[in-house]
């Protein structure tokens, strides 16, 4: 099978352009999903503490290393610092906990999951009596400065951001001595992130596309809400090319030089999502898909609207 393209990050480290997402992959399903993915050829797994399944992802990784299918150095493992651990004195412990969960001694990439912090040392979604998330005003620059020594120590080979808007990215770049190399953001045809991609790439930061299939299992989707993969224009294109809509959506990001991390716990889909390496989209098809952009954000993080660092409230991109 054709190999997944590898992108060189601005710090010289390679990242496989296609990875497996793990949000909402239940502990009982994710062990097999990650094992299947590694058997199929995936070498990049996207994790996060808040997904609640790092121990099981780690179990699958350890099993495949023990079987001799892969070596640790063949894998690219990303995880993310959750919002309740932004306070500088909590950052090291959070990373060590993630490493312990994943049974690893280093991560390839550690991201600040969101720029906005939540009240520390309690629930991961600390809510008041009315169900409103309780914020913390820790500045993400202080969080970043706490991450830098951990990268120097080798606990994370690269550092990055997630859900940071262009102004927030710039603010980190101005303060950072270890530069962020990735910004992981929602990205698919309805929200193609063209401006953010251009902005970040001009500054040595690659985008990773999350929810590339439109996250049909997102918990806040309203019943009957149209799904990206059901879009008739995409279905027509997929039929013309003899591919599935999911394959078109994944290949779209590969054509654009964006890293892409579709999630599935279904072996047949994990396989077909990987079978995107032996065909290309014509430039006019990429342009056609680009034209579907409608600022259609599917992960708006409404729970923390009003936070001074909410990335999607005040700034254009
Ligand atoms: N940094 C951040 O804030 C965020 C990061 N992420 C990351 O990005 C990953 C991907 O995004 P996510 O929101 O999960 O959504 P995706 O867009 O990857 O969609 C996942 C859903 O699509 C289904 N699916 C997968 N492949 C196919 C296929 N070939 N045909 C039909 N349906 C398919 C999956 O079902 P099934 O599993 O049942 O097969 C699942 O329901 C996450 O898992 C996570 O790792 C996501 C959101 C936010
Ligand atoms: O990665 C993510 C998916 O789930 C979380 C909510 O539970 C989001 O906050 C986050 O962006």
Burial class (CB in 10 A: 0-12, 13-18, 19+), 223: exposed
Distance 12 CA to ligand 2 centre (A): 29
Radius of gyration of the chain (CA): 19
Pocket test of ligand 1: the residue of 190, 231, 262, 312 to mutate, having most ligand atoms within 8 Å of its CB, is: 262
Ligand 1 atom index nearest CA of 184: 1
Question: What average pLDDT does range 81-100 have in this prediction?
Answer: 98
* Ligand 1 center from residue 142 Cα (angstroms): 31
- The tens digit of pLDDT for each residue in 242-299 reads 999 999 999 999 999 999 999 999 999 999 999 999 999 999 999 999 999 999 999 9
**What pLDDT band is residue 130 in, cutting at 50, 70 and 90?**
confident
Q: Which of 95, 20, 103, 91 is nearest to 55 (CA)?
A: 103
pLDDT tens digits for 242-253?
A: 999 999 999 999
Instruction: Tell me the three-class secondary structure of 270-308, residue by residue.
Output: HHHHHCCCCCCCCHHHHHHHHCCCCCCCCCCCHHHCCCC
Tell the residue number behind the tokens 């193609």, with chain if given. Answer: 192
Using a pLDDT cut of 90, give the percent of the chain over it: 97
Strands (DSSP E) found in 135-291: 135-136, 159-162, 182-186, 206-210, 259-260
Q: Is the pTM of this model over 0.95?
A: yes
Query: What are the pLDDT digits (tens) for 174-209?
Result: 999 999 999 999 999 999 999 999 999 999 999 999
* 6's tokens: 């590898």
pLDDT of residue 181: 98
């Amino acid at each position: 099978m054709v190999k997944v393209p590898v992108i060189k990050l601005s710090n010289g480290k390679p990242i496989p352009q296609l990875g497996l997402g793990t949000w909402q992959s239940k502990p009982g399903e994710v062990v097999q999903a990650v094992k299947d993915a590694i058997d199929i050829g995936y070498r990049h797994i996207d994790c996060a503490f808040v997904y609640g399944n790092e121990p099981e992802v780690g179990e699958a990784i350890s099993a495949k290393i023990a079987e001799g299918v892969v070596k640790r150095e063949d894998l690219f493992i990303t995880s993310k610092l959750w919002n309740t651990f932004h306070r500088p004195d909590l950052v090291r412990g959070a990373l060590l906990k993630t490493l312990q969960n994943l049974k690893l001694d280093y991560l390839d990439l550690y991201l600040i999951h969101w720029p906005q912090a939540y009240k520390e040392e309690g629930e991961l979604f600390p809510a008041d009596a009315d169900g409103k998330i309780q914020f913390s005003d820790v500045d993400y620059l202080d969080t970043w400065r706490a991450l830098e020594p951990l990268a120097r120590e080798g606990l994370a080979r690269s550092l990055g951001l997630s859900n940071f808007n262009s102004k927030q990215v710039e603010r980190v770049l101005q303060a950072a001595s270890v530069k962020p190399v990735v910004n992981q953001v929602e990205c698919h045809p309805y929200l193609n992130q063209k401006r953010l991609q251009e902005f970040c790439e001009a500054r040595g930061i690659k985008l990773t596309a999350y929810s590339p299939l439109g996250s049909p299992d997102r918990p806040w989707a309203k019943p009957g809400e149209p799904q990206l993969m059901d879009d008739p224009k995409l279905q027509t294109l997929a039929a013309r090319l003899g591919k599935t809509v999911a394959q078109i959506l994944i290949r779209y990001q590969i054509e654009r030089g964006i890293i892409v991390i579709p999630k599935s716990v279904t072996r047949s889909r994990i396989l077909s999502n990987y079978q995107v390496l032996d065909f290309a989209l014509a430039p006019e098809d990429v342009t056609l898909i680009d034209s579907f952009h409608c600022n259609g954000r599917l992960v708006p993080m409404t729970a923390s609207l009003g936070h001074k660092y909410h990335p999607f409230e005040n700034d254009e991109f």
